[in-house]
Structure 1
């Protein structure tokens, strides 16, 4: 794993997006992500949506031993109407723990989570019976997956929204 920037705390503005949210087992989750990315790109292309920002993979609820509540989205410059499958949303403004890496998503996620813990920083998360719920935790794909098919070369920005009272 190559860490490109961070870990650190960054401020982000609210970002409009459209996305597809599903519940899927952890095993096979990345194949589902890839299918949803293709489906979302096709949906955006059919509507001629210009200036799509980075695609992202949002983790709403994490349960590595059970179902994962995840979403693939694309940042858009202005709010868009969705439909029954593709929904409009907003990545919330706020302070985020952030790290940008290339290769080895699991190691990079572990590095960011450990950095948050080791520095006494409080993420905006809570436990539910379904798993760890996050107000906003996502991986933004800074490399366009349509032009670089090798995932090990993608530049990815991890972001975890911090609680208001976090250091």
Structure 2
């Protein structure tokens, strides 16, 4: 794994409600999706709802040559109803291949490739399907543990990748 990454592993997660905003982006514009997180936090704040965990990018459909359908979201303790641009959902329970990385988000493509290779070497299969629009994932997360207002040095950011495994 990349030198600043922990050893990959498999974890079991419970279902987790969340709220977020759905975005269609390209690889060149993916960072703009993160700019929508303040809207999610504002929506939660207006309703007196505290986040239950760190914010994430959830990759729903991946076509590296065209568009990616992602959600920028935040876990919440209890299910809620979305409104306007805010969507509500449940991150599925199950087994996930995971790795935590400390370093610049630009390194995550390499970390992802290494996690995928590790999982293949373990005989693990991911919960996704190929479709005309691209790879459709049951749950593929990048969880951002570091608050950029507290730690502006992106080389010190901690991010966990969690990719749901097939049953």
Q: TM-score, normalised by structure 1?
A: 0.90
| Post-superposition CA distance 1:68-98 (Å, at most 9, x none) | 0101010111112210210111110000000
| Post-superposition CA distance 1:107-160 (Å, at most 9, x none) | 111111111122221000110111111111011112233422333221111011
| Residue pair 1:81, 1:87 contacting (<8 A) in 2 also | yes
| Residue pair 2:59, 2:70 contacting (<8 A) in 1 also | yes
For 1:20, the equivalent position in structure 2 comes to 21
Compared with structure 1, are the counterparts of its residues 34 and 51 closer, same or farther at alpha carbon in structure 2 (3 Å cutoff)?
A: closer
Distance 2:127 2:165 in 1: 5
For 2:97, the equivalent position in structure 1 comes to 97
How far the C-alpha of 1:5 sits from its partner, in A, is 2.8
Could you list the runs of 5+ residues in structure 2 that have no partner in the other structure?
Answer: none
Could you list the runs of 5+ residues in structure 1 that have no partner in the other structure?
Answer: none
Q: Which secondary structure state, in structure 2, belongs to the residue aligned with residue 112 of structure 1?
A: helix
Instruction: Provide the aligned C-alpha RMSD in A.
Output: 1.5
Q: How many pairs does the alignment contain?
A: 163
Q: Which has the larger displacement, 137-146 or 127-136?
A: 137-146
For 1:63, the equivalent position in structure 2 comes to 63
Which structure 1 residue ranges, 4+ long, deviate > 3 Å from structure 2?
1-4
Q: Which has the larger displacement, 38-47 or 18-27?
A: 38-47
| Residue pair 2:23, 2:33 contacting (<8 A) in 1 also | no
Q: Which secondary structure state, in structure 2, belongs to the residue aligned with residue 114 of structure 1?
A: helix
